[in-house]
Structure 1
Amino acid sequence: MKLLVCGASEVDAGKTTFTTGLIDRVGVRGYKPRAGNGYWYDQDDYRRAVENGRLYGKDAKRIAAASPGDVRPEAINPVHRLWLPTPGRGKGPLGRDGRRFIMDRVTLEGATHYVVNGDVEVPPAAERAFPLSDAPVVDTLPELNDLMAELHAPALADLGDAITARDSAIVESYSDIARPLSAFVPDAVAVVEPRRCRIYDGERYAKSCEVASGSAHEGRLEERVEHVIELLEPRESVTLAALSSDERDDLSVVADAYEDAYDALLAVI
């Protein structure tokens, strides 16, 4: 059983709350192949991780904690990016208005690697916490792409192989990206947004990702959820209840509140 959870909005879609409740429901390990957090918006999470010489975000931490066994966030999240808001500046190396990446953490074959943006000042705490003196520094998009082919792609491929080898897994995407692993074909897909979850057949969803990747919308390696699901009819659409922060922290409460959505998702398998 392989399940995929995606978000229909770029931020605050509710993916991780849905994922952790689903983990509680079915009792299998969750994965967050790619993740990121903002130095400004996620300062508390950044400080907690950096104080221990680590770089991960709250989503990977929550998914790891919800998963059975003793799971480190880095084990389920091989690629993590730290962002910095850049008000008033143009597009950065990744083509995003309003923010630039500071550094990446890539976990590959048990070793931790860092990639630093040469156009952004690394926060002093991060400079002290991580061995960045030998880390590659990129100033242009081609340089970053080369390093991503060398580090990021193999790390994600290794995780994809590990997920394929398991009988069951739950994979959560990031932002509003349709698939965090290009070769991953789930059995069923939940597309989550505030107040709604739409359920799709996994194989049909994967085929739509391939179609969308060659469309005028994208033509890139990453497809947006909206461009994939416009090619599909959902198997079911379920209303999601609003939950307080205390309720979101109690996985059994989330599992009960989203029971209808989980039932619909599992019925597709």
Structure 2
Amino acid sequence: MILLVVGADRVDAGKTTFSTGLLERTGAVGYKPRAGNDFWFDHDDCRRALADGRLYGKDAARLSAAASRGRAPERLNPVHRLWQPSPDGGSGLLGRSDREFVVDRIGRDPEDALFVRNATAEVPDAVADALPLADAVSIETVAEFNDLTEREYVPAFDRLADEIEDTDVAVVESYSDIARPLSSLDPAQVAAVAAVEPGRVRIYSGDRYCRACEIASSSPRDGAIEKRVPDVLDYLDPLERVRLPPLDKEQRDDPARIARAYANAYDAFLDAAGRV
């Protein structure tokens, strides 16, 4: 059974807080198929991972800790992207006007990851010194990136999807406001979907949500065609709307306290999943 958590707000929707409390409540296995952070805006998080010669973000780290299974963040997050601001503007390699991608990590083994370097961007010294970029795959064009996607990214996502589908209960957290973090997941196994935003969560049946994903309009982003959560939700009425109280940092850092604060939301979410 898959419990999908998506963000109805592109920035700071509260997905990871909701997901960590859900892991505490259910004892499920957590996954975040795609993640990213910014060398400037998330500098402390970047330096913490780079100090160990690794590349991961705080969301994956929080999910890993909440699950209490001794898994490294990379185990639940096969692809992580490091961004940086693009002060000179321009469209960038992947079509972003405000930032450029620097390095991707592909792989779930911290000791055997494949790194992909944007050859059109200047890699910060701290990143170049910490990661084995001499062995990285360098790309300069969208065509090269698309070819590499078929060879490396898609198989990594497919392997993760197979594992998730074999898991008794999996909590899968999407990224940004993307509706489906793994297109290869079997829609029939998505039991329920929680669309989180500041102050509330809207709950949907998995089958209807996945059907809406198929008919919603697409937008080009990160080198692929993806569906955004607000566009998908235009086609649906939620089963439930539940208020989420604001939490301070100490509460957000404690999955047990989140589970208590969001108990009503989790009750409704798990009730929706149980209808499958």
**Normalised-by-shorter TM-score class:** over 0.9
What is the match of residue 169 of structure 1? 170
Give 4+ residue runs of structure 1 displaced > 3 Å after superposition: 108-111, 217-221
Question: CA separation in 1, counterparts of 2:98 and 2:131?
Answer: 26
Note the 1:80-229 alignment, pairs <5 A.
80-107=80-107, 111-184=112-185, 185=187, 186-212=190-216, 215=217, 217-218=218-219, 221-229=225-233
Secondary structure of residue in 2 paired with 1:111: coil
Change (3 A) 1:23 1:105: same
What are structure 1's unaligned runs of at least 5 residues? none
How far residue 144 of structure 1 moved from its aligned partner, in angstroms, is 1.0
How far residue 202 of structure 1 moved from its aligned partner, in angstroms, is 0.4
* Deviation readout 1:111-131 (Å, 9 max, x if unpaired): 310000011111112212221
What is the match of residue 252 of structure 1? 256
Question: CA separation in 1, counterparts of 2:250 and 2:68?
Answer: 21
Question: CA separation in 1, counterparts of 2:228 and 2:180?
Answer: 8
What is the match of residue 6 of structure 1? 6
Paired residue type of 2:206 = G
Paired residue type of 1:252 = A
How far residue 81 of structure 1 moved from its aligned partner, in angstroms, is 0.1
How far residue 88 of structure 1 moved from its aligned partner, in angstroms, is 3.9
* Deviation readout 1:54-91 (Å, 9 max, x if unpaired): 10000000001111311110000000000001134121
* Deviation readout 1:25-49 (Å, 9 max, x if unpaired): 0011110000000000110010010
Question: CA separation in 1, counterparts of 2:250 and 2:166?
Answer: 35
Of 253, 265, 268, the residue aligned with 2:269 is: 265
Note the 1:22-41 alignment, pairs <5 A.
22-41=22-41
Paired residue type of 2:19 = T
Question: CA separation in 2, counterparts of 1:263 and 1:108?
Answer: 32
Secondary structure of residue in 1 paired with 2:83: strand
Is the Cα–Cα contact under 8 Å of residues 108 and 151 in structure 1 kept in the other structure? no
Paired residue type of 1:176 = D
Sequence identity (%): 52
Question: CA separation in 2, counterparts of 1:87 and 1:259?
Answer: 43
Is the Cα–Cα contact under 8 Å of residues 77 and 108 in structure 2 kept in the other structure? no
Paired residue type of 2:262 = Y
Question: CA separation in 2, counterparts of 1:2 and 1:67?
Answer: 15
What is the match of residue 64 of structure 1? 64
